[in-house]
Amino acid sequence: MTLKNIQFDNNKNFKGIIMNHKISDMDPTEIRVAMLRANPKVTQSGMARDVGIRPQIVNRVIDGITTSDRVRKHIAKTLDIDIKRIWPSIYLYGGGPRKPGRPRGSKNVHKG
Convert the pLDDT of each residue in 17-29 to its tens digit.
Answer: 445 566 789 999 9
DSSP state of 7: E
Domain, as residue range, for 87: 26-91
Decide: helix, strand or coil at residue 14: strand
Which helix (H) or strand (E) covers residue 8, if one does?
Answer: strand 7-8
Does 33 fall in a domain? Answer: yes
Does 11 fall in a domain? Answer: no
Which helix (H) or strand (E) covers residue 84, if one does?
Answer: helix 83-86
User: How does pLDDT run across 74-86, given as a tens digit for each residue?
Assistant: 999 999 999 999 9
Decide: helix, strand or coil at residue 15: strand
pLDDT-based confidence at residue 6 (cuts at 50, 70, 90): low
Q: How far apart are CA 82 and CA 41, in angstroms?
A: 20
**CATH code: domain of residue 54:** 1.10.260.40
Cα→Cα distances 49→40, 57, 68, 89, Å = 17, 11, 15, 27
